[in-house]
Structure 1
Amino acid sequence: MERRSFLRHAGLTGVLAAGAAPAVVHAQANIRWRLASSFPKSLDTIFGAAEVFAKKVGEMSGGKFQISVHAGGELMPPFGVVDGVQNGTVELAHTAPYYFFGKDETFAIGCAIPFGLNSRQMTAWMYEGNGLKLMREFYAQYNIISFPMGNTGAQMGGWYRKEIKTLADMKGLKFRIGGFAGKVVERLGSVPQNIPGGEIYQALEKGTIDAAEWVGPYDDQKLGFNKVAPFYHYPGWWEGGPQLDLYVNTKAYEGLSSEYKAIIEAAAAYAHTDMQAKYDARNPGALKQLVAAKTKVVALPKAVMDAAFKESMALYSEISSKNPNWKKVYTDYANFRREQNLWFRFTEGQFDRYMQSAKL
């Protein structure tokens, strides 16, 4: 019997029994990849997003696609993950893109910039605007393809050994602040420090720095910042909706089957939603506990906010004049932000303000 006729008449069961269709039976090869995180294992929300992703990939592939997740410092330094993926040392990384603004300021737009998009707006720009397309065009220079994979929501403004009462209090402040926002606080007279999360507590305790921001109550409490800095300011105007990214080595990704590519995309999207859900659910209780432990929660003065906004906008104009990568992405981002804020002013913002003032 001819092979084509045999396949047509035998049916799938007969084909499998006869071993005539190895491409069907073994369509997906067993793969083991490594993921380097920029975060310590102690942070079950932000580091945990990579574990959630890896678990989903394993489940959706029937265990054939396994990803081992490594905390910052295990395989490479926390801020070395871009180089690791670019060079193919690891296939994957999970990080905050703004850590790498020193390579190009455009990295920051893929995460958060001062007075930027909130988390919902950022997701909208990525998936329904031009965000993912523009950032992937930029990341192609680094042999990387990106996927949104997590967002913390709006963050707190950090921990301070002394309260910030006026703009003058920002002068000379040695401030651990993540990534690109350091450029703005520097213009306010502060001295930015880009320190990995696992090293912040010791720096605050020893007085090497005067203040530090990380994420919000749940993570900050786990890291113990309230024990060494009593003032907890808000809001984190530099992180209205910081997005975490999954970076994949382009060559490794292109070597995957279409099914495995779809699994990567779906698992990253799941982890993206899961991460913010955890922060939103856990931050309220952690904030109550911090207040009960005598933490002083204080709003940043309007003068500081206004000065930071002015300097941020001036900085963006300056970068646009000299960095074509930034100008291309930021122009689209800024247009999207303008339209989003027009809409949110009538809906989300008004509703939120009412509900937060209501006595429930």
Structure 2
Amino acid sequence: MVATLKDVARAAGVSVSTVSRVVRDAAYIDASTRQRVLDAIQALQYRPNSVARRLKYGRTYTIGFIIHDISNPFYGHVVIGAERHISSIESPEFDLFVLNTGRDSKKEKHAAEVMLDRRVEGIILASTAAPECLEAFREVAVQHGIPLVSIDNYLGGFEYAIVSADNHLGAYQLMRHLLQHGHSRIGILSGPDAESHARERVEGCRKALQEAGSSPEEIRVATGNWSVEDGYRISREWLEGERPPTAIFSGNNLMCMGALYALQERGLHVPRDIAVVSFDGVEFGTFLRPVLTTLWYDWERIGEEAARLVLEAVSGGNSCDQPVRQVRVPVQLVIGESCGCRLASRRGRGVGNKVLHQHEEGKGGVPLGEDN
């Protein structure tokens, strides 16, 4: 039989209201009384009725998280980071409610309605940035007053916060390194134009290309849905056309995987026949041969920062009360071999739980320092 508040109160020799105050971690309770109640809770295996408690206080203690593509490893790590931060908050305890929309704008718009129905207290959003979706979330933030934190994308002229990598700087650094190897015909695999982080990465590439004096006619930019399939399809089209690129810059890890498959299918060697670099490819890049040259940033920190901002807003802070407050997570260039560099050693040194390889100084690119 399930234990109740009355059972705990009887076992501890206190009133029901005292048990309720201990469960809520209220102040001004004698230490010995609190311990008797906690001992009774443990002995009876009492579990508070969270639904009843939330109805009583008119709150759900729930943060919503809408993801447009949960199959992308990036978002899995972002959720881990968000959940870790939320679970670290002892009082009050919040739950994370996750919805995946599969890059379907209708599902994303419906997800906004679901979050309202669930009475979530804040939302973390990885949006497709489709116009009808942005309007739905504008209504959530403006008319319903629910704090909103966006992952990577600008949403429009209303109050919210955004957490992203330093996309422009990272793409600039990665493209500049690629250009040091003398490439002039470069294909850029990008995400949808509607997504601001895709545009920022292309703009970072263009800045490096302009500084290097590259001819715009030799640079190709193609957009896809950040998927393996689109990376494969676009790369195959380039390779089958006239004057195929001598290097490919991929805007994310999944499109890079598709590009590498297209190259392998045609029997091309990386980097001898064609160089490849990728934004956020560390997750799999260190296991490739040749090792992938990529850009590292802490995916889980993206989730942690988003959760911190939304909880601050829910608790009455000012994280989301001004148009577009942005937190940028720093990026780091990771030199591999896929760009044409030669590594001095297969030994690595850690950055978090990732592996960076030492670059052989004097062979081009940016050395990462000495192995310890």
When normalised by structure 2's length, the TM-score is 0.40
Instruction: Point out the structure with max Rg over C-alpha.
Output: 2
TM-score normalised per structure 1: 0.41
Identify the structure with the greater helix proportion. Answer: 1
For CA contacts below 8 A with separation 6 or more, give which structure has more relative contact order.
Answer: 1
